[in-house]
Structure 1
Amino acid sequence: MDRRAAFCRDIARSAGAVALDGFTNRVAGFGMKGPQDFLTETDAAVERHLKARIAEEFPEDGFLGEEGGGAIKSDIWVVDPIDGTANFARDIPHFCISIAFVSNGETEIGAIYNPVLDELYFARRGHGGTRNGKALAVAQTSDFDAACVEFGWSNRKTNKRYLEVLSNILERGANVRRGASGALGLAYVADGRSDAYAELHMHAWDCLAGLLMVKEAGGAVAPFLSLGGLTKGGAVLAAAPGVAFGMSEATGIALEAGK
């Protein structure tokens, strides 16, 4: 696991270099995989880079990427080559590479890298988390009137349900924002920049690294892998302890037992 942890840090930065080059030098334009589901050439280039590096270093491990999919194995790397593609496509520098390593149903390692800001978030189960070497810690916020939370939108759930939950959060007094990168939204909870992140449905590549970071930073999270999230996705909630219960009530998303 030590070797995989060091390798994960390395490939997050090398993939970030590919993404940053694409962001800086790309030709204008983008494709669409579906409604509000953007695709650029750089998504594919970053995923190819990561898949090749992992296959070379750990050929026995599985690989699951947003663009190319993959086969589930007991040891598997779960990758979003660019989380926040809509931002990337519109020249907004709020996007990242998200990488998680899952072994026997547990997320062991996670990295989220924003190459524009050169911010590398990293966590290892039982070892805490860091941003550029500085320890991560969730916010101490307990008053919703002072809380700033992020609520992601998903076209896999109805707008009616989204608006109901949004209204519930606002009625508690929190400020609600949406940055259009769920992985960075989760990293910001781990870093105390946000008090909570919630989304009614996320895929594994969007959230596994971030959920691990929030747990390692002292936050509360919803169960994800135990509910089949690796294959089918699911609801995501991550929060500072002081607002976690209220966010769970407002969103209808349960927290892990004991949290």
Structure 2
Amino acid sequence: MSMHEAGLDRRFALAKSIAEEAGALALDYFNKRDTLVIETKRDPQDVVSIADRNVETLIRERVAAELPEDGFLGEEFSPVEGASGYTWVVDPIDGTAPFVNGMSTWCVSIAVLHGGVPVIGVIHAPCDGEVYASAAGKGASLNGRKLSLDPSRTIQNAITGIGCNTHVEPERVGQIIATLLGMGGNFIRNGSGALMLAYVAAGRLVGYYEPHMHAWDCMAGYCLVKEAGGDHLSFPAEGEALLKGHPVLASNPTAYADLLAIHGR
């Protein structure tokens, strides 16, 4: 086993362990959400709570204790430069709006990048008791069951996830949905881009598209989709580009061309 393989295995095991612990903490906050102080960030739809911050703090502390040379990028706090070549990219609670409103469609998303490529992706959906896990060359799984995409699924006979936020003009969102419907497709939005990417890897959705997402929302999902046999749009993941938002598209290979056409319109 090479040093890189050993390092990947160690980080994969750690990511799965941390995701379980972070998910348990987040679920405890979810169950007592009526006591949380909710704040807004960019706009009234962009919310954050002490749960987000404390879950991210837990993940940061666990990584720093085990792998102090690794970098770290999370949604809630400033990034930390690393020296190992590995960077953890984390959204402590993706889907905070569903979370604070008592809906189950939120998750803990943990990715590890190496050379700007997501080589580990773990997404824990605590309300459903589901852990999606993937690592480069090791495949993707859901609660230990191997995931493999069905080539018969298309945008016409399956459902596509669509994401939107205030970075995207409402007219653009309407155009995306109208084009998808015009091509014979159908769509869903559940409030968590990371979880919908996990659903793509699990075959529940045939694809997911959002014109603007941050790395912490999509890197774990990208690894999952790739390891399940899917395709995804490239995401600039090194230097300052990693800190900026970019379009995100991931899908079953049979749907990729259609969704790429929607992206290009």
Please indicate, yes or no, whether the TM-score normalized by the shorter chain is above 0.5: yes
- Asked if 2 retains the 8 angstrom alpha-carbon contact of 1:150 and 1:176, the reply is yes
Q: 2:88 aligns with which of 77, 80, 83?
A: 77
Could you list the runs of 5+ residues in structure 1 that have no partner in the other structure? 254-259
Match in the other structure for 1:175: 186
Structure 1 window deviating more from structure 2 (200-209 vs 162-171): it is: 162-171
- Asked if 2 retains the 8 angstrom alpha-carbon contact of 1:139 and 1:189, the reply is no
Match in the other structure for 1:213: 224
- Secondary structure of residue in 1 paired with 2:73: strand
- Asked if 2 retains the 8 angstrom alpha-carbon contact of 1:139 and 1:191, the reply is no
Match in the other structure for 2:97: 86
Match in the other structure for 2:61: 52
TM-score using structure 2 length:
0.91
Offset from partner CA, 1:136-170 (integer Å, 9 cap, x none): 12233444331210100021121111211121111
Q: 1:33 aligns with which of 22, 29, 41?
A: 41
RMSD: 1.6
Alpha-carbon offset, residue 216 of structure 1: 0.7
The answer to whether 1:107 aligns with 2:118 is yes
Q: Give the paired residue count.
A: 253
Alpha-carbon offset, residue 72 of structure 1: 4.2
TM-score using structure 1 length:
0.93
Letter in 2 for 1:7: L
1:215/1:17 Cα in 2 relative to 1: closer, same or farther (>3 Å)?
same
> In structure 1, how many angstroms separate the alpha carbons of the residues matched to 2:141 and 2:231?
17
Alpha-carbon offset, residue 188 of structure 1: 0.3
Match in the other structure for 1:256: none
> In structure 1, how many angstroms separate the alpha carbons of the residues matched to 2:154 and 2:122?
30
Match in the other structure for 1:19: 26
Could you list the runs of 5+ residues in structure 2 that have no partner in the other structure? 1-7
Letter in 1 for 2:249: L
The answer to whether 1:248 aligns with 2:260 is yes
1:28/1:65 Cα in 2 relative to 1: closer, same or farther (>3 Å)?
closer
Offset from partner CA, 1:204-223 (integer Å, 9 cap, x none): 00000001110111111100
Q: Percent identity?
A: 41
> In structure 1, how many angstroms separate the alpha carbons of the residues matched to 2:241 and 2:178?
26
Q: Map of 1:224-243 to 2, 5 A cutoff? A: 224-225=235-236, 229-243=241-255
> In structure 1, how many angstroms separate the alpha carbons of the residues matched to 2:173 and 2:152?
24
